[in-house]
Amino acid sequence: MAAYLAKAGVNCVVFERELMPREHVGESLVPSSTRVFKDLDFLPKMEEAKFPHKFGAAWTAASDAKVYNMDFGGVSADCHVDVRFSERDQGVGQNYTYHVDRGKFDLMLLQHANQFGAKVYEGIGVSGVDFSDPNCARVNFKMGKKDMSTTCKIVVDASGRRTLVGNQMKWRIQDKVFDQYAIHTWFDGYDRRCMASNKETQGDFIFIHFLPITNTWVWQIPITDTVTSIGVVTQKKNFAASKEDREQFFWECIKSRPELYEGLRAQGSQQVKPFKEEGDYSYAMKQITGDRIVLVGDAARFVDPIFSTGVSIALNCSRFAHKDILKSLETGNFTREAYQEYETTLRRGTKNWYNFITVYYRLNVLFTAFVADPRYRLDVLKLLQGDVYDEAQPEVLTRMQNIVKQVEANPNHALHGFLGSLTADAFVEASA
């Protein structure tokens, strides 16, 4: 956001609570992110950093699953489906996106914003924002032990899952059902081709490995030529209380996919980071803009990590919202109405992500069937590429939702036994 605004000549300041670089989850990008990098003249720096190129994605499941037929073709729980981003043009001059070390990537973006003219202060934690003065917003922060403040025309809250202003305003709605947690680490020397159907071309794909435990899956994300991020995502109820038990849970999950387990335990593969946990993944906001305030990224909404939505939403928030902010500065209108185009666009996109992910968790064999079906493949690929903001309800989503309803309504349906228990409710309340 700072890069967009500073590039346009806006006097802006970034208060960054952390000292960069710092570790962060969210390491695999989707193609819609590349448009942001192109806007900001950032693509050459992404190439200079030699981040692994992400040409596609693959999903795998255990090899003993059954195959069922539906009205539109085969549905197989025994899946290895994959997509290549080159199958659908992104309009950015390249057919790949990136996997990133977030510590390095985030620092690069911060430096890029600074080079455009944004003033950056690291190690400065904002404690709150005072909106009582109709002529400005006052940002309160600490510099060392000293309480300080500054005034500005507009505040952009990019505080992540901390959701500073959202919590201050009591806008945040935690999803009580959709409660995924993750435990993750890095491995060096793991042969990530061990789960690939095409070992020559899929080495740098992102892999999602389904597990027998309901609503549980593993991500496999390249970080460098030799380092791979591995994370287990599951429901909170599956997480044990102690750290040791959670690490054991990680390995028990990995063991349920023997090839993956053997690859991670093979000679030459070693864990190079401590385990780290992430939680409270899904929540919504009653509103994401207000007078002199715009929420972006995780501070505005987080759905689920399944399709690399977090970074995609964050980057595209700035792509959309900066336009409303520039117009607001030109007109002098700093009311919530000035940012309605952004709020409408973001809510439309996150609702589509939300519905897509809900269908995925409810009946993930249906997702793989749609990926494999030529009639729906490009429509699903469009969603996976992050192009979710231009339609109120993509036709392919309606089709998937209707099939899920049929399966739910018929206990004798061949796929009824594959229904997952995970549903979500926070967005319904937020959009009411």
CA-to-CA distance for 235 and 409, rounded, in angstroms?
25
pTM for this structure? Answer: 0.91
Q: What are phi and psi for residue 276, nearest 5 degrees? A: -135, 145
Full DSSP string of 330-354: HHT--SGGGGHHHHHHHHHHHHHHH
Element (H, E) at 253: helix 243-255
Pair (94, 232) in one structural domain = no
Name the residue type at position 329.
Answer: L
Pair (274, 310) in one structural domain = no
Pair (120, 159) in one structural domain = yes
Neighbours of 86 (CB within 10 A): 12
Q: What are the DSSP E strand ranges found in 123-189?
A: 126-130, 137-143, 146-152, 155-157, 172-174, 180-188
The enclosing domain of 215 has a CATH number of 3.30.9.100
The pLDDT score that the predictor gives to residue 432 is: 39
Pair (272, 229) in one structural domain = yes
Name the residue type at position 127.
Answer: S
The pLDDT score that the predictor gives to residue 130 is: 98
Neighbours of 194 (CB within 10 A): 16
The pLDDT score that the predictor gives to residue 338 is: 98
Average pLDDT for runs of 10 along the chain of length 432? 98 96 93 96 97 94 51 52 90 92 97 98 96 97 93 97 94 78 95 88 90 84 96 81 82 93 94 89 88 96 83 94 98 98 96 89 84 92 93 93 91 84 52 44
Q: Which of 254, 278, 302 is the last residue of a domain?
A: 278
The pLDDT score that the predictor gives to residue 427 is: 46
Name the residue type at position 219.
Answer: W
Q: How many domains does the structure of the chain reveal?
A: 2
Pair (260, 307) in one structural domain = no
Pair (167, 185) in one structural domain = no
Domain span at residue 30 reads: 2-172+282-430
Q: Is 193 exposed, middle or buried (0-12, 13-18, 19+ CB in 10 A)?
A: middle
Pair (46, 127) in one structural domain = yes
* The length of the chain, given as a count of residues: 432
The pLDDT score that the predictor gives to residue 241 is: 64
Q: Which of 222, 257, 278 is the last residue of a domain?
A: 278
Pair (149, 191) in one structural domain = no
Q: Report which of 387, 321, 407 is spatially closest to residue 68, judged by C-alpha positions.
A: 407
Pair (287, 389) in one structural domain = yes
Pair (289, 384) in one structural domain = yes
The enclosing domain of 416 has a CATH number of 3.50.50.60
Pair (22, 113) in one structural domain = yes
Pair (189, 151) in one structural domain = no
